[in-house]
Amino acid sequence: MKITFWGAAQTVTGSKHLIQSEGYNLLLDCGFYQGDRVVADQLNRNLPFRAEQIDAVILSHAHLDHCGTLPVMIRDGFKGRIYCTGATAEIARFILLNSAAIQKSDCDYHNAHIRNNGQALITPFYTIEDVEKVVKRFQTVPYFSKSNKWTDLNGNIRFKFYDAGHILGSAVTVLEIKENGIVKTMAYTGDLGRDDLPILRSPEIIQENVPTLLMECTYGGRIHRPVAEVIEQLKNIVNGAVRTKSRIIVPAFSLGRIQELIYILHNLTDQKAIPPLPIYVDSPLADDITKVFSHSTEYFDDQFWKDFGNEGEAPFSFINLINVRSVEESKALNNMKIPFMVIAASGMAEGGRILHHLKKNVGDPNNIILITGYQAEHTLGRKILEGVTPIRIYGDLYDVRAKIIVLNELSAHADQNDLLAYAGHTSGLINLFLVHNELPQALAFKKRAESSFAEVHIDIPAMGKSVEF
C-alpha cells in the first residue's frame, strides 16, 4: 500500500490523498486549493495525477477544500464512483454549483477588464455542466452505526464511515486493504469536529485497530474555549451593538457556521438573552444548505431535541431572522438606519456578498466586524484579522476603522486536546500522519503528542510525499 499526499499537506486546503494498492487507485477527497491566486490557479486547473487512472473517490465531507476539484477529475477522464454520505452528496452539489458560478463571474469580470490591454482571456476551472456530471457519480453510504455494513470496492478493499462530527454528513473513513492475503487497516479523519458544538453529534471513536491514521491538525497548537463561553460572548456583542447602534458584519461559511449561528441566535432570542435585533442571512447558498439541515434531523444531537426537536419547533427560523435572496434586497440593507446584524459569505471574505457589506461598513468605527471562522493565509479575512489597513476590495482601498472581534472558537475543528484524545482512542496506532494544517500548528501538536505516545511515529508530510507500508 502506498499513500501519496497530494494536498492539504503542510497547508489547510486542497485535500487529496492517493491510496494505491495492487493496481487499484483510490483517492481520499479532491479539494479546492484556496489562498494565493497564482498558486490556486495552478493547483486547481491541473491535477497532480492522471484522473482516468483513479478507480474511485471517497469524499469525507462537502467543504469546498475537500470536494472542490471533483469536476476537474470528471473533465479529465475519471470514470469511477464518488462515495460519500447522503447529506454530503446533497450539500456538495450546492457547494460545487456555487463554486462554478463564482468562477464564471470572476472570469467574466476579469476578461471584460482586460479586453484592450493584450492580456490573455481566462476560463473557469469547470462549469455548471461539469458539476452535474459529478452529482451523477455520487454513491451514498450511510454511517456504519446506521447500516452495520462495510462497503466493498474491488474485493480486496472495503471501507466504513464513522460520524466525524465536523459538519452535516462528515465522515471518518476506515479502510481495510488486503494485499497478498494480509489485511492492512488505515483511517482518514477528513476534518474532525468537537464534542460540544451545537446541532451535530460528537465525533465517533474508531473501533478497529488502526496502525495508520491520517489525521487533520488544523488547530493542533490551540485550545478552544468552551462553546458556552463563546455563546455568552456573542450575547454580549449583540447587546452592546444594540446599545451603541452598531452594525455587526459577520463573514461566515455558508456551510456549517451560518447554521450554527442561526441556531445559537434563535436560542438566545427564545431565552430573551438578546433583543429582537434584525438578523439578515445574506447568502442564497446558505439558505439552500439550511434547507438540507432542516430535513436531516436524524443526524442531530440530543441537545437539538431538547432545544427544539421535542417541541416540533423549526431550529433555523425565528421571527427576527430574515433570509436575503435577491441582490436588490442585499443592497437595500445599507440604507437601513437601525442597528442590525448581517451574516454573509464567503467566510474568509474572499468573494461573495460579504465584500459589499465590508466596503460600506469597514470604515465606520462604530461598526463591528465579527470574525467567526478560520482565516487561511493570504485571504482578505486573514488580513482584517491581522489588523492590515487599508484593505483592497475590488481594486479599491478602504481604511479599516470598524472594531474587529474574533469569535473563532466556534470552529468546527477539533483543538489540540480533542486531537490528542482522538489519536489516544485509536488503538494499535503506529504511524500518525498530520495533514490539513499550517506547519506551526502541526509542530506544536507533534511536540505534545510525542510525549504522550512515545511509540507512535508522527510525520507531517510535505506535498507530493509518498509512503509505503
Site residues (vs Zn ion, CB under 5 A): 63, 191
Question: In the numeric block, which cell numbers belong to residue 450?
Answer: 510525542
Instruction: Tell me whether residue 63 or residue 357 sits nearer to Zn ion (CB atom).
Output: 63
Least distance from Zn ion to the Cβ atom of residue 413, Å: 7
CB of 190: closest distance to Zn ion in angstroms? 7
Cα dihedral: 260, 266, 272, 275 (round 10) = 90
- How many distinct helices (H) and strands (E) make up the chain? 15, 22
Nearest-approach distance from CB 6 to Zn ion, in angstroms:
17
Which residues have C-beta within 8 Å of that of residue 196, sequence separation ≥ 6? 226, 227, 228
> Minimal distance in Å, beta carbon 191 to Zn ion?
4
Q: Which is nearer to Zn ion, 290 or 330 (CB)?
A: 290
Nearer to Zn ion, 163 or 191 (CB): 191
Neighbours of 248 (CB within 10 A): 25
CB nearer Zn ion, residue 191 or residue 418: 191
Q: Of 328, 424, 321, 405, give the one whose Cα is nearest residue 367.
A: 405
Between CA 62 and CA 1 the distance in angstroms is 27
Between 90 and 191, CB nearer to Zn ion: 191
- DSSP 8-state assignment for residue 48: S
Region label for 204, one of left (φ > 0), alpha (ψ between -120 and 50) or beta (otherwise) = beta
Of residues 63 and 224, the one with the C-beta less far from Zn ion: 63
CB of 255 to Zn ion, least distance (A): 8
Least Å from the CB of residue 329 to Zn ion: 29
DSSP secondary structure of 293-305: HHT-GGGB-HHHH
